[in-house]
Structure 1
Amino acid sequence: MKTVYARVVAAALISSVATGALATEWNASTWGKRRAFTENLEKLAELVAEKTNGEFTINISYGGLSKNTENLDGISIGAFEIAQFCAGYHADKNRAITVLELPFLGVETLEQEVAVSNAVYSHPAVAEEMAQWNAKMLMTSPMPQYNLVGTGDARSSLDSFDGMRVRATGGLGEAFAAVGAVPTSVTSSEAYQAMESGVVDTVAFAPHAHLSFGTINEADWWTANLNPGTVNCPVVVNIDAYESLTDAEREALDSSVPEAIEFYVANYGELLQRWDSVLAEKEVEKVMISEDELARFAEVAGPIHTQWIEENSARGLPAQELFDLVGATLEAAKSGN
């Protein structure tokens, strides 16, 4: 009986291979919990499964496969097929896309953030750098401008930022340092504990993250219009896994990206509309920074752009070209072209 059973199983496997019926199952690594930031991944998985009648599925893991700071490393060794990460977690591994994390670039909407991210992701220098990690850019996870939540007395001027301990990564951290703050790059998952324990006075996040990671629950105030910049968090695929897909599977994946981003942006827009009611419910003071102080902040942070260009040009990146690409793309997006 065992011999007969083995033959039946083997015959079924051979038949499945012959007819191309073996399903493709991918794993995607992200962190935290399902939230606005991960809806692009969730929608992508849903669409891919629909378009392939369940023959190509993506299982999303919230921290079970890797630490958020090690997702790019996991992609490089093929530990999973898709991963989400943020450039500021390891700028030395993805220098080209850190141009998108420079402060005061002038991005005003999620749609503009998508436009500039797509332009930079399509640049050959980015593809070359990602290929070193066996990674291919798939899509962005666009986030609005970051703002601060803080404890104690509200900070509404640059002078009040002096000595402020702030959770901020990448270019945002550099911008706050330029006005005398003390940035720390603890991960998003560690931000609440850092704030609760007094390791930091303030945390810079997009609204969804203040909700998801609980920092809003510790907050006494929120800067409604500081808008110094944001972080850039792409979704990448393992190149070997991508190339091993059938033409139909690859088409299902690629064609689902614009739909996933559209869904993400619409969903995030609903969250932003509810944000004021969240602040009121939690009795968090809304702080408005004066236009003069905002202009001073942008002026003080301005040299960070020049420094980024000089440092990364010295490392062999077309830094000026990448920076100009962001500006030109943003100008076109704002003019509706």
Structure 2
Amino acid sequence: MKTCLTAAACTALGLVLATQSAATEWNASVWGKRRAFTEHVEKLAELVSEKTGGEFTINVSYGGLSKPRENLDGIEIGAFEMAQFCAGYHRDKNRAITVLELPFLGVNTLEEEVAVSHAIYDHPAVLGEMAKWNARIIMTSPMPQYNLVGTGTPPDALVDFDGMRVRATGGLGQAFEAVGGVPTSVAATEAYGAMQSGVVDTVAFAQHAHLSFGTINEADWWTENLNPGTVNCPVVVNIEAYEALPPEHRDVLNSSIDEAIAHYLVNYGELLETWDSVLKEKGVTKAKVPDEVIAEFKAKAADPIREQWISDMSAQGLPAQDLYDLVQFTLNAKRGGN
């Protein structure tokens, strides 16, 4: 009887230990507060938990694990399993994906942004570069074209950008610099303070960020049509943690990505539908930059910066022309071109 009880107890203990070992808990490092920009991360966490009956959980931390500019470093050392970062925060670490931050790239919709981003993420040059940081990109954080908020008189001539101190990162910063602007790449969480204190005159953000980080509250105007480009902010996972997942959990994670992106697109679309009412509520004027000024801006920023990027990245051993061509091919395919 004692032997039977002991055997039964051992069997039960073994089942408990097996159940415990099958459970997976990840931490995801993002920043700011929950907003449209993080909704796909939140949805992914929700989906994997639901599909595994709570056996796979992702704890989303808003600044508690790392600073925004250090998320890729945290992924490299395994400080957490998932993170969001923006390419412009450390362009030397993620050179290949900066093709997606070139100014006036021609991406018009969030769906197009998803398509070109994921095509680039799957390129061998990107996979190899990210692997150096023990990172694997699993999805993008698609954002619309950035536009400026500012105080005083909005720009209506190219000369108005000369000397303008603008919070803009990556290719956007280069674009404003090409027309005489003075870009600064303060983190998103510091943009409001920089604007309020006069460190910058204007801030370039997508709509959700102007709301989330309060820059819209300091603004007199918002440029509704400048559309100089956007930033690219992938969600990455630690390769070792990803490969250590039980196969069933890895399958759940992979199969939930498209659902998470779809949720993000719906949520962001709802935000865009309310944007005009937000501007009205806050007393912010929609400033339309003259078409001829935008054409001048493009002439100074788009082609020269693109050609310089291709030259510089090629010199560093990256297939820069291939990456740029892949963006254009994907855009054409997304639009039903031949």
Question: Please, what TM-score do these two structures have when normalized by structure 2?
Answer: 0.95
Corresponding position of 1:324: 325
1:5 maps to: none
Match of 1:50 in 2: 50
SS at match of 2:90: helix
* SS of corresponding position for 1:203: strand
Following the alignment from structure 1 to structure 2, what is the Cα–Cα distance between the partners of residues 41 and 77?
A: 21
Pair 1:109 & 2:104 matched? no
Alignment of 1:1-337 (within 5 A): 14-18=14-18, 22-301=22-301, 302-335=303-336
Alpha-carbon shift at residue 335 of structure 1 (Å): 2.4
Seen in structure 2, the aligned counterparts of structure 1 residues 156 and 18 have a Cα distance that, compared at 3 Å, is same
Where 2:92 maps in the other structure, the secondary structure is: helix
What is the number of residues matched between the two proteins? 331
**Matched residue type, 1:328:** F
The DSSP-based 3-state class of the residue aligned with 1:61 is strand
**C-alpha distance in structure 1 between counterparts of 2:21 and 2:64, whole Å:** 29
Distance 1:303 1:281, change over 3 A: same
Query: Distance in 1 between the 2:13 and 2:233 partners?
Result: 40
Maintained 8 Å contact 1:16/1:22:
no
The secondary structure found in structure 2 opposite 1:173 is: helix
Contact 1:138 1:257 in 2 (8 A): yes
Asked if 2 retains the 8 angstrom alpha-carbon contact of 1:146 and 1:206, the reply is yes
Alpha-carbon distance, 1:336 to partner = 6.7
Deviations 1:118-166 (A, max 9, x none): 1000000000000000000110000000000001111122111111000
- 5+ unaligned residues in a row in structure 2: which ranges? 1-7
Instruction: Tell me by how many angstroms 1:174 deviates.
Output: 0.3
Whichever residue aligns with residue 305 of structure 1, its letter is R
Q: After superposing the two structures, state which structure 1 stretch, 287-296 or 72-81, moved more.
A: 287-296
Asked if the contact 2:162–2:181 (Cα under 8 Å) also holds between the matched residues in 1, the reply is: yes
Deviations 1:49-102 (A, max 9, x none): 011010000000000000000000000000000000000000000000000000
Amino acid corresponding to residue 227 of structure 2 in structure 1 = N
Change (3 A) 1:10 1:264: farther
- Structure 1 SS opposite 2:335: helix
Whole-angstrom CA distance in 2 between matches of 1:224 and 1:131: 38
Per the TM alignment, residue 18 of structure 1 is displaced from its structure 2 partner at its CA by 3.5
Contact 2:22 2:246 (8 Å CA) reproduced: no
- The Cα offsets for residues 196-218 of structure 1, whole Å up to 9 and x where unpaired, read as 00000000000000000000000
Give distance in 1, aligned partners of 2:22 and 2:254.
Answer: 20
- 1:94 and 1:10 map into 2 onto residues whose CA distance is 50
Which secondary structure does the structure 2 equivalent of 1:195 belong to?
helix
Deviation at 1:106, TM superposition (A): 0.5
Contact 1:207/1:272 (8 A) holds in 2: yes
What is the TM-score normalised by the length of structure 1? Answer: 0.95
Post-superposition offset of 1:21: 5.7
**Secondary structure of 1:57's match?**
strand
CA distance in 2, matches of 1:336, 1:266: 25
Q: Runs of at least 4 residues of structure 1 off by over 6 A?
A: 8-12
The offset of 1:170, in angstroms, is 0.4
